[in-house]
Amino acid sequence: MFSTSEIGIDLGTANILVYSKNKGIALNEPSVVAINTETGNVLAVGEEAKAMIGKTPNNIVAIRPLRDGVIADYNVTSDMLKHIIRKAGKKIGFAIRKPTVVVCTPSGSTSVERRAIEDAAMNAGAKKVHLIEEPVAAAIGAGLPVDEPIANVVVDIGGGTTEVAIISYGGVVACNSIRVGGDRLDDDIIQYVRKFYGVLIGERTAEQIKMEIGYALVEHDELKMDVRGRDLVTGLPKTITLSSFEIREAMKEAFLHIIQAVKSTLEECPAELSGDIVDRGVILTGGGALMNGMQEWITGEIHVPVHIAENPLECVAIGTGKSLQFIHRLEAATR
């Protein structure tokens, strides 16, 4: 059965999620593409390509074509989207021919970056492309009443960006988008281990450290983890033991940027909506919401209740798909 369909795509720096009205989250794959540099052919996309990072021969590279929430490599992103849409079509139960697609973009992205996302989706086979701002999609996915005249505050901590927005009556009242997210935290861990231990670790190991012993709270029960890497002096494999206090120190600067973005956005809030924020609090979405102590740490910094969305990792994708029913109103609000 060939049919025109409507899908929402969360084009994330770390993961791509596809949402369909009938199936919910139809696909959740890492935003990684493996390419043969000699032929230019795409060898693998998603989970399979991520497993290749740092483990391939010279003629094969596993790359992430999205950086800081926007397209860094247009052609590879276009190829990746083609694979993703095709794969999602099989999962949803019918071949998607020319689907109508809603793609989320960081609220701080430029018109050139938005155009690149639109073109890449059209090139991948979309019939029509709508763009929606990431925090608005996150708020819809979290079940917030975005089209009512009530302040909805969303902090979306993704792989490439952190988006903070106050949404009321279908539009963004105040927002801040900073290019600090999970990738920056991973990089800070890699640099810390290199500087203080003289050991080189890869991106996947850094991500594992962040997920297992990364803490947003300064005061917490100490966790330890054995980590293997390459000794930069001898060139041989080496095992070191890291403490969660060290990892908190390594990520300290990135956390300061995140909390500053939250405070700046709240300072821009109109007085009439401030009461709503005190009553309703702030909603955390994105992978960063799941970090140990993140909820408690932000609560302590801004003295406003902070809640984690029901499905923080899927909020943006769900919101992107659900936004189709009132996309024209949202687009009018952002013009």
End-to-end CA, the chain: 37
Instruction: Establish whether 281 is an annotated binding residue.
Output: no
Instruction: Establish whether 260 is an annotated binding residue.
Output: no
Instruction: Establish whether 210 is an annotated binding residue.
Output: yes
Instruction: Establish whether 207 is an annotated binding residue.
Output: yes
E strands in the chain: 2-3, 6-11, 15-20, 24-30, 33-36, 42-45, 60-63, 66-67, 70-71, 95-96, 100-105, 128-133, 152-157, 162-168, 171-178, 199-200, 224-231, 237-243, 282-285, 306-308
Instruction: Establish whether 120 is an annotated binding residue.
Output: no
Q: What is the number of other CB atoms lying within 10 angstroms of the CB of residue 149?
A: 11
- The rounded distance, in Å, linking the Cα atoms of 88 and 93 is 9
Task: Give the single-character DSSP code of 292.
Answer: B
Instruction: Establish whether 8 is an annotated binding residue.
Output: no
**3-state DSSP assignment of residue 219:** coil
Instruction: Establish whether 181 is an annotated binding residue.
Output: no
Instruction: Establish whether 261 is an annotated binding residue.
Output: no
- The rounded distance, in Å, linking the Cα atoms of 324 and 137 is 11
Convert 276-289 into a string of H (helix), E (strand) and C (coil).
HHHHHCEEEECHHH
Instruction: Establish whether 288 is an annotated binding residue.
Output: yes
- The rounded distance, in Å, linking the Cα atoms of 30 and 12 is 9
Instruction: Establish whether 14 is an annotated binding residue.
Output: yes
Instruction: Establish whether 250 is an annotated binding residue.
Output: no
Which residues are annotated binding-site positions?
Answer: 13-15, 159-161, 207-210, 287-290
Which residues are annotated binding-site positions for ATP?
Answer: 13-15, 159-161, 207-210, 287-290
